[in-house]
């Protein structure tokens, strides 16, 4: 995982509508960049819905929320429509950002080892520097923890 104080790697990935999103487009704003394994799975749905529920709190502070997984643009579009997700979802099938942020790691499930996205969140400051890292987050509490941190800073 990358650490706080490190320059956040820039990326150029397409959102659910095929529009290219660059992290550097948001310099001057705080960004919550969260990585998750897969659209429409129980944990990822809980996490996305928690971010949607907390979205007004982020928006009122002019904070950009970007979710990243290796799912396709079409998958993201269906996921966002199904759950009314108001934030940006970007598709990273080539693992460009996922590997740059070191969240593509070995995972164990029922004794089976495989590579996958470790659910993690980065808060990136207005200068494009990682301010805080949340490794291996819990899907239902991640958004609330981040909002609490940002409100009490």
Query: Which regions of 7-144 does DSSP assign to beta strands (E)?
Result: 12-15, 20-22, 31-35, 64-69, 88-91, 104-109, 112-117, 120-124, 130-134
CA within 13 Å, CB half, 70: 14
Residue 44 is a catalytic residue:
yes
Q: Which two tokens stand for residue 81?
A: 């429509």
Number of H helices, E strands in the chain: 4, 9
Q: Which two tokens stand for residue 29?
A: 């704003």
Count CB neighbours of 65 within 10 A: 23
Catalytic position from the list 23, 44, 50, 98? 44
CA distance 9 to 124: 10
* Catalytic residue list: 44
């Amino acid at each position: 995982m990358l650490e706080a104080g490190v320059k956040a790697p820039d990326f150029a990935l397409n959102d659910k509508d095929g529009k290219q999103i660059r992290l550097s487009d948001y310099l001057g704003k705080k960004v919550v960049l969260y990585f998750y394994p897969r659209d429409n799975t129980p944990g990822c749905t809980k996490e996305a819905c928690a971010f949607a529920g907390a979205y007004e709190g982020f928006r009122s502070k002019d904070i950009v929320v970007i979710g990243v997984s290796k799912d396709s643009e079409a998958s993201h579009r269906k996921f966002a429509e199904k759950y009314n997700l108001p934030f940006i979802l970007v598709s990273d099938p080539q693992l460009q950002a996922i590997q740059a942020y070191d969240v593509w790691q070995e995972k164990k499930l029922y004794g089976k080892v495989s590579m996958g996205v470790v659910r993690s969140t980065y808060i990136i400051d207005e200068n494009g520097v990682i301010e805080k890292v949340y490794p291996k987050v819990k899907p239902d509490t991640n958004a609330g923890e981040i909002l609490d941190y940002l409100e009490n800073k």
